[in-house]
């Protein structure tokens, strides 16, 4: 089971990961975007981090919904609505829960992905965060179907996400600012995909540290 406390730890770990990778994310975005992805994400997650102490008595759904609202109001560009939607849909999938089973985590990840697909109108191969989140959800679902625990399922999901991230490099972008570059977007790793990978990696690190 994933506890409410672990969800709070995950969000703090992700905020730290974003802060540590702010320059890297911005550098990736400078190649094919507005050069502000790291800056925007860091601004949003600094606000999330500051908010976490006020959420310790809330259920998991309420925590994720609060994160969603903070991100939508504080991150500019496409990232605010996309990450805001991910956390909002994730919150709806785990309504009223204080801890999550493997199936709950799968439903949370699937709901977040579905929200991003609907919001961004992106598909696999468009060189977006969908190319990272989709294979991760598929891998997690396969692991759950094989009766694997949350930790092992998350390890497989993150491995799939990492492969998906590498596969964005040779792609031509079909969505967002990067799509304006046409073939010049080829050869660059997707910045939004990178921050999505860090999100999943942060959750795995919390599960590993607690031996979940």
For residue 4, the model assigns a pLDDT of 98
Report how far residue 191's alpha carbon sits from residue 29's, in angstroms, rounded to the nearest whole number. 6
* Chain segment 130-167, per-residue pLDDT in tens: 999 999 999 999 999 999 999 999 999 999 999 999 99
Nearest 5°: CA angle at 199, between 67 and 100? 70
Domains assigned to the chain: 2-210 (1.25.40.340)
Report how far residue 82's alpha carbon sits from residue 88's, in angstroms, rounded to the nearest whole number. 10
Structure-token pair, residue 146: 């094989």
Global pTM?
A: 0.96
Of 36, 80, 79, 34, the C-alpha closest to 177 is 34
Counted residue by residue, the chain has a size of 212
Share the mean pLDDT of the chain.
Answer: 96
pLDDT band at 210 (very low <50, low <70, confident <90, very high): confident
Of 98, 212, 97, the C-alpha closest to 153 is 212
* Chain segment 52-106, per-residue pLDDT in tens: 999 999 999 999 999 999 999 999 788 999 999 999 999 999 999 999 999 999 9
pLDDT higher than threshold 60 for residue 25 = yes
């Amino acid at each position: 089971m994933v506890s409410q406390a672990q969800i709070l730890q995950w969000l703090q770990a992700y905020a730290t990961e974003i802060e540590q990778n702010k320059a890297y994310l911005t550098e990736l975005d400078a190649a094919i975007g507005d050069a502000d992805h790291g800056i925007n994400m860091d601004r949003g997650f600094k606000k999330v981090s500051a908010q976490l102490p006020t959420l310790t008595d809330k259920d998991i759904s309420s925590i994720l919904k609060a994160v969603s609202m903070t991100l939508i109001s504080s991150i500019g560009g496409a990232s605010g609505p996309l990450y805001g939607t991910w956390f909002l849909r994730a919150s709806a999938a785990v309504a009223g829960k204080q801890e999550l089973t493997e199936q709950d985590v799968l439903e949370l990840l699937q709901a977040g992905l579905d929200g991003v697909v609907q919001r961004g109108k992106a598909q696999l191969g468009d060189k977006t965060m969908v190319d990272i989140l989709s294979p991760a959800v598929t891998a997690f679902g396969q692991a759950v179907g094989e009766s694997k625990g949350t930790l092992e399922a998350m390890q497989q999901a993150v491995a799939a996400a990492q492969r998906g991230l590498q596969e964005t490099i040779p792609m031509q972008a079909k969505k967002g600012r990067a799509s304006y570059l046409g073939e010049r977007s080829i050869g660059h790793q997707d910045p939004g995909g990178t921050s999505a990978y860090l999100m999943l990696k942060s959750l795995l690190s919390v599960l590993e540290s607690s031996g979940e």
